[in-house]
Amino acid sequence: MTGSNLFKPLRLPNGTVIPNRIAKAAMEENLANEDHAPGEALVKLYRSWAEGGAGLIITGNVMVDRHALTGPAGVVLEDDRNLGMFKLWADACRSRGAQAWMQINHPGRQLLASLGQSARGPSAVAVDIPGLSKAFVPPRALEEQEIEELIGRYTQAAVLAERAGFTGVEIHAAHGYLFSQFLSPLTNRRDDRWGGSLENRAQILLKTIDAIRQRVAPIFCVAVKLNSADFQRGGFDAADAARVVEMLNTKAVDLVELSGGSYESPAMQGQTRDGSSLAREAYFLELAEKIGEIARMPLMVTGGVRRKEVAERVVSGSVSMVGLATALAIEPALPRQWIAGRDTKVEPIIVRWKNKTLASLAVASVIKKQLGLLSQGKRTNPGTSPLMALIGNQLKARRQAKSYRQWIDQAR
């Protein structure tokens, strides 16, 4: 254990110290209360991760606009009306000494039709998933004024996160969400200052970082989640990711988390659309280590890690932190067990269906089932039937979407 970086503290550029190199990476929980705030379920879930020993806890994505959720029962932070609940959430995350960062996000064009809202993206490019494209709302292109307003929304969410007691925010610019859509030439076909060159396509991200930095304390962390690649031909690739990191080098960014993929090419689940071959664990490590040669801030890699030896390998070179997601949904105490010297490992959730999209949804449904169990203080059951988990999640999502539409109507 003495030779491993995994349990050593990490000092970030702003002076913040993360007690170890293991992060609980973001997962979408769909466990907000009826007011789309963090209630008892999320507090209980995150307390289990805090007790599990991760040095950094990153929340599932918190939405900056109530009309644009990545899924039903998502947490929304637009103003201070539910700030007391967010304080309880932050307290739970920090209860055992971990740093607690709120991931802030907007779905852009990846907006489910069941939510009954209009979708907006950098350009009017619809989501293309064979057999599921009708599940998403065709987007319209954002007006310039709306882009400026969105930067303000991200900034407001960060300010409120700091007031609630979170120690940082992570701006989600990966997995095909809004900022990722701006970065990709496949989804950003604008001919104004927000489109064209990669420098232009990155402006919304760079301006958001600047705007947040002007409003929060220096010790408050600002991180970015970035795709190492979108894994779609003609899209955002590894060379683009390296150039964006070079741009981020000039900003006050404390950490960059590297992941990959989108709804159309779910590389974050080990599947790609462009035929790329990904490792079974630490999917994006090879790309990340190359980017680590130019990054001036610490890098974190998330994607499929479930064994201590692999986690140690991730942080043995130019990558400073390892993010665990699915593994901590199944065994929230995994970091504590590793720190205690045990080599506990988590078996992967594998669904070998011919339809890759449905298989991906089934894997996500099994994971969400585990999050639901943990939020009720129950033991996880990773042996859950993928088919039953998928059906159960679809029925639950339908009920939650109906509840969301009613909540939006009441707010008008």
pLDDT digits (tens, 9 = 90+) for 329-347: 999 999 999 999 999 999 9
pTM of the model: 0.94
The contacts found for 10-14 with CB under 8 angstroms, 24 or more apart, are 10/55, 10/298, 10/320, 10/321, 12/221, 12/254, 12/255, 12/297, 12/298, 13/252, 13/253, 13/254, 13/296, 13/297, 13/298, 14/218, 14/219, 14/220, 14/221, 14/252, 14/254
**Strand pairing category for 17-18 and 10-11:** antiparallel
Q: Does an H or E element contain 312, and which?
A: helix 308-314
pLDDT digits (tens, 9 = 90+) for 233-292: 777 888 999 999 999 999 999 999 998 766 665 544 444 443 443 345 555 788 888 899
pLDDT digits (tens, 9 = 90+) for 194-248: 999 999 999 999 999 999 999 999 999 999 999 886 666 777 888 999 999 999 9
| Residue 381: other Cβ atoms inside 10 A | 12
Q: Rounded CA gap, 172 and 73, in Å? A: 19
- Class of residue 412 by CB neighbours under 10 A (exposed 0-12, middle 13-18, buried 19+): exposed
pLDDT digits (tens, 9 = 90+) for 351-381: 999 887 788 889 999 999 999 999 999 999 9
| Residue 316: other Cβ atoms inside 10 A | 13
Q: How far is residue 392 from each of residues 163, 304, 369, 387, measured CA to CA in Å?
A: 37, 24, 9, 8
pLDDT above 90 for 148: yes
| Residue 30: other Cβ atoms inside 10 A | 20
